[in-house]
Amino acid sequence: MIYRKTHRVLVQGITGKQGTFWSEKMMACGTRIVAGVNPKRAGQTHIGVPVFASAQQAMEREPFDIAVMFIPPAMAKDAARDAIEAGARMIVILTEHIPAFDVMAIHEAANEHGARIVGPNTAGLVTPGEGFVGIMPGHNTNIFQPGDVGVISRSGSLGTLVCLNLTRAGIGQSAFLGIGGDPMIGTTTRDALEALDRDPRTRAIVMVGEIGGSMEEQAAAYAATMQRPVVAFIAGRSSPPGKKMGHAGAIVTGNAGSYASKRAALEAAGVTVVDTPSEIPTVLRRRMAAEVAAAE
């Protein structure tokens, strides 16, 4: 699920305002966008990219690995199924507020065809120095710089803040994985953690979590087996129980998904949990230095 410059990208909804803007930014920093989809403009070329009536038609002419969706909620299910059935290996679903039954249908299709879903309601993927897919400011070198720290976040804005703080501290990133904020996402925090743990370019990992659900607790179980240092920030420490805060998945019922539960699980697994994002660079440097010392 880590974006690489060798990946070929399809943009569904490329001719819209957001599709156009972000496609231009993606291409400017190296992303290989090979085709777009808009049934009403099939056969045309838009911002230098051929446009097709469907993902399946695009795959026949311009084979792609990743599809990214700039598609309204009511049309998201059909667009995702089109890309999945065309043979996309990964679908980056930026759309939020997709009806729950449609999301379930998307996941069912992805499981059937062996496709990876990132999202819904994701900000996308960034690999500094190679490109990005989605709506993260991967083109902004003040925020993203190549390095060896992987970053995982449900939130695009919090993920951006963390990467900005890292870059300002002189710490580059190996990859940013935005997993999405909806309750039914296709890639979990643990999935992303495992992917970065397998990545030879990643030396340490920053995990940006939120209250609600059990993804951080599940990720903690895997973090306990890791050699790479992990630093985490959990948003929502002051949120009242039973009240939905921010993302659709950020709701706490009793002790399940609470800040205390997540922090306790992560710390028991050897993860350093900070109180504020600004602490991450200092704590990360300390953990990485300790790792080097232990190896000597």
Please list the active-site residues.
247
Q: 112 — phi, psi (to 5°)?
A: -65, -35
Residue pair 214/191 in contact (Cβ under 8 Å)? The answer is no
Q: Amino acid identity, residue 16?
A: G
Residues in Cβ contact with 104 at an 8 Å cutoff, skipping those fewer than 6 apart = 184
For the record, the structure tokens of 74 come out as: 């009511």
Q: Which of 105, 199, 189 is nearest to 150 (CA)?
A: 199
Helices 156-168 and 280-295 cross at an angle (nearest 10°) of: 60
How far apart are alpha carbons 174 and 176 in whole angstroms?
Answer: 7
Q: 47 — phi, psi (to 5°)?
A: 45, 40
How far apart are alpha carbons 268 and 214 in whole angstroms?
Answer: 15
Place of tokens 């580059």: 172
Q: Amino acid identity, residue 182?
A: D
Residues in Cβ contact with 40 at an 8 Å cutoff, skipping those fewer than 6 apart = none
